[in-house]
Structure 1
Amino acid sequence: MKFSEIIGYDRYGTVRELKTALNHGTLDTKDVTLSALGFNAPAWVAASSMSILYAITGHRAPLAILIAYFFPMLVLAFSMVSLTRHAPSAGGIFTFSSRFLHPNVGTILGWTYTVACTAVTPMCALIGTEYIQALCPSVGGVLNAKIIGALMILGFFAVSCRGVGVTAKVAGTFLIFEIAVVAGLGLLGILHPRVEGLSLASMYSLRDAGGLAGIGPGVLFGVWMLANFDSAINYIEEARVPVRTVQRSMLLVLTSAFVIYSLAAIGWQYAVPVDKLAAIVENGNGGPISAVANAYLPPSVAWLALFVVITSAAAGLQISSNAAARTLYRMSEEGHLPAGLGVVNRHKAPWLATALVSIAGIALVWWKPLDKIVWYYDVVTITLVASYISALAAFIVLTWRQQRLVVAVLLSAPALLAVGALAYIGYTAGANPVSPEDLYNAWYMGAATLVAGMLIVIFHRRGNEGAATENLEAS
């Protein structure tokens, strides 16, 4: 049996129709891939994360990204490819957990994934605002930042309500700019190096990095950079060939992000000494992107380094709000949340769910402004870790149900190791925070999210029991 058959790759587009009120048959593989890659947000992730990765691993940043790509992220991707074939729906994490673990677990983890995507929405708005203010100092200030962030969320709420076709076009347009700059500057560094004496082989030397123990922290950070490829699942109900489109897109998004970040991690240190890149504090000035752009671009166009971070943040904002809304929509359609969240407008967009996510995003922009950005990192990290672990657990259950003993063992082993790696990321998010005052915050917020999901289960169950009692009395 071929590996593609084992993981359930829908090679011939067998699954053609899905039960949905969304705009079915609108998106092709390119549209879904660009939209999901927009959620990965290469430019602002590179701006905020690459200097930290250099500080952790030095010249071995490309090696950390390479290891993170193959393990655990590729394992997670193949697991989701299999799950998507057997449980296709817009609310991927929710559906996987509901069908292969337990319906109540599905509600809790669906809510957890929604919280992750909802937190990304204001985080992207704040990052975009920071760079807007850097480009236009006249609109600086904390109050203006809150206003700009809220306007960004409102603007993309309006775009999302126009339907998934418009959403995909806007996200794809933004993505072109950021990929061209992030990867293009990396290629410039490789083709026209300004730093002498660097060896590509040494960048991938595990021995020079001090072994797995030395590169481990960088690998964990690389996992964070490569995350969010799974947002492609949220568009499955609007794809022309649902399962095959999403399966292809998830692998394409993850691999594209790996290539983009690898080019940047290699090429940027050929342009600017790695110790200088590691010392750059990202504060709205473009971070390492700006430093590399200044090395190659004339001053008249160096502003592009700031501009692409804005477009990157905008794309991430839009796609994250859509991911949260589509999860709420699917949970509503399956009877796990109030029916109103499944309402769509004339463009077949889940406008009410999108509105709630946007309102929550605006509230967070005002409650947790830019100086609280670590709070967003903690929330997103811990909730995504919980979501991904649940997907891997669902894959393991599915594997043991469908495969022979030997195959089940072989497929479950890397999935279990991936669970361990992700669990360790969740542990380090709380035990080793960016700031000492944020010690254990990620754990607290993760626990609060899970408790909130449990309360949703309890209240929904009581509501159903009350409705059943009323119907019985009426009859």
Structure 2
Amino acid sequence: MSETSEHLAEAVLSGEQGEGVAQPGLRRNAIGLSEVLFQSITSMAPATAVTAALTPAIPYTGASLPLAVLLATVASTLVAANIGQLAIHIPSAGGLYTYISRGLGARLGFLAGWIFLLAQPLLLPFISLVWGTVSESLLANLTGLHLPWYVWVLIGNGLLLLLTYFGIKLSADASLVLGLIEIGVLLALSFTMIITAGDHNDLTTFTPAFSVDRGLGGWLGIGQGMVFAFLAFLGFEAAAPLAEESEQPRRTIPQAVIFSALGIGLFYVLASYAGVIGWGPARLDSYVAASNPWVVLGARYWGVAGPVILSLAVINSSLGNGNAGINAATRVVYALARAGALPSFLGHLSRHRTPSVAIALHVALATLVALATGFLFGVSVAFSLLGTVLTLGFLLLYIAACLASAAFYFRERRLEFGFWRHVVLSLVPTIILFFPLAVQVYPLPAYPLNLALPILVLWIVLGVIYLGFLQWRHPKALERGKAIFLEEEEEVAV
């Protein structure tokens, strides 16, 4: 790391402004609970998750998809509870990177930040493939004009670059509005399908009875499908990196993380059940084959207006997800650069107090990845591959966060440490999360999804090499990952 990085980090940690070093920090108290909550909610992209992210699970779960989603809801809420425990005492733009550094040590914390730098940035190219294809289809159906998906990717990413650059308040307000719209549309259609089904509603979808892979009594197929169910939950922790820009972060961040995981999880359970029942449990092969199954459902239950409404909801959801994902990823990059673990230019703040260089680089690389994978594998396969890689990365991060919660309270908050709250609450989701990881090893998924695990392993190996370099040349940069950059007194824990 450069001398500038070292000087900048020391200046920030000491609370001083060194000569020639302007580091005002992120804008404090810029957003409240509602904006922070919808940062997590839109980062989960509820409409896109229901209409697209859960679809690859059906070849494994069959009509038992609601069971896989319910189990993922339980596990994700437990993970959120662990992250919330850490957020009470460690408000930081570093999010999981800082939490894990504090709980499990600087080295594992850095590797967590390194994995985050692969997993979280893949969310934008992943989701841009969604709005690209849906926008292409919608325009063609309405006007007969054909504007290819990659043009929409460029347009959408350009809009998000501007939205995230001009301040967290504007970006967070946009997330709130976009989130309310997508949830409202999907809830309305879900209830329409459930009510219309009448006597055909079938609660055996909450058992492994329909699992395609009958191994372990059908649970093997459920476990494989849970990988994609977890994909739908990725982002509930996205509020954490906004701690330094939030009002009362020790309260709002834990609330936002837990409420988003639980509330949207229940929404997913309802919508996945409605989708299976609305399509027909015995006809789900055609559901998987459909390019936009929920657009088809919209036409079936809402007539000619249905496809338009659903398409707009998915585009809205995808853009909201991209917006929130950029905020989360760039704040962690900013925190790593501020600590000296990444080049100092990545910690540069614009006059709007946003990490402008990190934002621009993030959007540029995401656009490149989306276009490259889309052309190489085809959009649908690229979507599944990117989703698998980022899901596996986040599963490792969630496991580490659970263990970090127990370790942090045992070492630093012994008077608050409790067996049920910090041992059982940490171990249960850890055990659950290992199951979808294991089914990525045996049986191996088909090509190119079998590339996901090697990509993640290679990235970790590179991280270990870079970690060795930091230990040799800049050991202080690792220890700074534990630092909290908020000076106010702790509030009463919620």
| TM-score bracket for this pair, using the shorter chain length | 0.7 to 0.9
Alpha-carbon distance, 1:151 to partner: 2.8
Of the three residues 272, 286, 299, the one matched with 1:279 is: 286
Q: Is the counterpart of residue 78 in structure 1 residue 81 in structure 2?
A: yes
**Residue matched to 2:187:** 183
**Residue matched to 1:377:** 387
Q: Is the counterpart of residue 452 in structure 1 residue 462 in structure 2?
A: yes
Of the three residues 263, 275, 278, the one matched with 2:270 is: 263
Question: 2:132·2:151 contact (CA, 8 Å) conserved in 1?
Answer: no
Deviations 1:342-367 (A, max 9, x none): 21111111111111111211221232
TM-score by length of 1: 0.84
Q: Is the counterpart of residue 312 in structure 1 residue 317 in structure 2?
A: yes
Q: 1:218 to 1:301 in 2, by over 3 A?
A: closer
TM-score by length of 2: 0.81
Alpha-carbon distance, 1:217 to partner: 4.0
Question: 1:53·1:278 contact (CA, 8 Å) conserved in 2?
Answer: no
Alpha-carbon distance, 1:192 to partner: 2.9
Partner secondary structure for residue 303 of structure 1: helix
The one-letter code matched in structure 2 to 1:456 is Y
Q: Is the counterpart of residue 249 in structure 1 residue 256 in structure 2?
A: yes
**Following the alignment from structure 2 to structure 1, what is the Cα–Cα distance between the partners of residues 435 and 450?**
14
Alpha-carbon distance, 1:139 to partner: 6.2
Partner secondary structure for residue 201 of structure 2: coil
Q: 1:213 to 1:442 in 2, by over 3 A?
A: closer
Deviations 1:402-450 (A, max 9, x none): 447993376323422422332332232354565x223641221111221
The one-letter code matched in structure 2 to 1:419 is T
**Residue matched to 1:334:** 339
**Residue matched to 2:356:** 351
**Residue matched to 2:97:** 94
Alpha-carbon distance, 1:134 to partner: 0.8
Question: 1:183·1:261 contact (CA, 8 Å) conserved in 2?
Answer: no
Q: Is the counterpart of residue 420 in structure 1 residue 428 in structure 2?
A: no
**Following the alignment from structure 2 to structure 1, what is the Cα–Cα distance between the partners of residues 150 and 68?**
36
Of the three residues 159, 163, 174, the one matched with 2:178 is: 174
Alpha-carbon distance, 1:172 to partner: 2.0
Alpha-carbon distance, 1:29 to partner: 1.1
Question: 2:31·2:246 contact (CA, 8 Å) conserved in 1?
Answer: yes
Deviations 1:48-71 (A, max 9, x none): 24444455444443333223222x
Question: 1:342·1:350 contact (CA, 8 Å) conserved in 2?
Answer: yes
**Following the alignment from structure 1 to structure 2, what is the Cα–Cα distance between the partners of residues 206 and 365?**
35
Question: 1:51·1:277 contact (CA, 8 Å) conserved in 2?
Answer: no
Alpha-carbon distance, 1:306 to partner: 1.5
Question: 2:62·2:284 contact (CA, 8 Å) conserved in 1?
Answer: no
Alpha-carbon distance, 1:214 to partner: 6.8
Deviations 1:160-181 (A, max 9, x none): 0011111112222222222122
Partner secondary structure for residue 120 of structure 1: helix
Partner secondary structure for residue 148 of structure 1: helix
Q: 1:213 to 1:363 in 2, by over 3 A?
A: closer
Of the three residues 133, 153, 173, the one matched with 2:136 is: 133
Question: 1:76·1:418 contact (CA, 8 Å) conserved in 2?
Answer: yes
Q: 1:389 to 1:163 in 2, by over 3 A?
A: same
**Residue matched to 1:470:** none
Q: Is the counterpart of residue 117 in structure 1 residue 127 in structure 2?
A: no
Alpha-carbon distance, 1:145 to partner: 2.8
Q: 1:139 to 1:451 in 2, by over 3 A?
A: farther
Alpha-carbon distance, 1:466 to partner: 13
Question: 2:410·2:417 contact (CA, 8 Å) conserved in 1?
Answer: no
Ranges in structure 1 where 5+ consecutive residues have no aligned partner: 1-18, 468-475
Partner secondary structure for residue 305 of structure 2: coil
Amino-acid identity (%): 21
**Residue matched to 1:6:** none
Alpha-carbon distance, 1:453 to partner: 2.0
Ranges in structure 2 where 5+ consecutive residues have no aligned partner: 1-22, 212-216, 478-494
**Residue matched to 1:472:** none
**Residue matched to 1:159:** 163
Partner secondary structure for residue 376 of structure 1: helix
Instruction: State the Cα RMSD in Å.
Output: 2.9
